[in-house]
Amino acid sequence: MSDEPGTGIRVLVADDQQVMREGLVALLGLVDGVRVVGSAGDGEEAVRAVGELSPDVVLMDLRMPVLDGAGATARIIAEHPGTAVIVLTTYADDESILGALRAGARGYLTKDAGRAEIAAAISAAAAGQSTFDATVSQRLVAALSDATAAQSRPARETATAATPKPDGLTAREAEVLGLIGQGLNNAEIAGSLYISETTVKTHINNAFAKIGARNRADAVRYAYRHGLAHP
């Protein structure tokens, strides 16, 4: 598919199944503010297409021939850091999720996601934010907690409001990071702490700057590593 005149978030679709690929292109054609600029049938073709078409976001399948989705994601992030990758796959196992995040994916959705959810993920990725569907969030939290429970237990036991927090975090910022680690979104955090979403965003921005987090996945890892969140 070639580039066409217009405005909106530029999206490339990568999926080895032609029916799925064409279906996604057609679906995204109905989304306001989104413009599909190309499609690819394998990871190698996706990397090449990103270089030629400069999309803002790539919707990336994981299991593809020639070069799989995780490998393609890693190359795209390394070679074209201005392009965000959202994994859209049928797989939601720990290995697939963590592999995609290590490669640099900014979001992870399963293929039962609807048009509104995919559109929201594209908008978030284009704005530098991360998006995970509910199933993936639960798996991510469980996997990270299993991997870090032993080393974070001593920190959990001493992480009280009176104890100094790591990296100069305030008690509230640490609390917000802990809730992010539990998989809560901004609205849920606001409800839990009885504060506004605007205030939540302020705490998140401040906390991310202090800990060097680029996205919520980084924040989840940090929260478990430092005992701010627990299973």
Given the structure tokens 């640099």, which residue do they identify? 104
For position 156, what pLDDT does the model report? Answer: 47
Cα–Cα–Cα angle for 178, 183, 188, nearest 5°?
85
Pick the closest to residue 94 from 135, 42, 122, 131 (CA basis).
135
pLDDT digits (tens, 9 = 90+) for 166-211: 888 998 899 999 999 888 899 889 888 888 888 899 999 999 999 9
pLDDT digits (tens, 9 = 90+) for 112-138: 888 999 999 999 999 988 888 777 776
155: pLDDT strictly greater than 50: no
For position 111, what pLDDT does the model report? Answer: 86
pLDDT digits (tens, 9 = 90+) for 35-66: 999 999 999 999 999 999 999 999 999 999 99
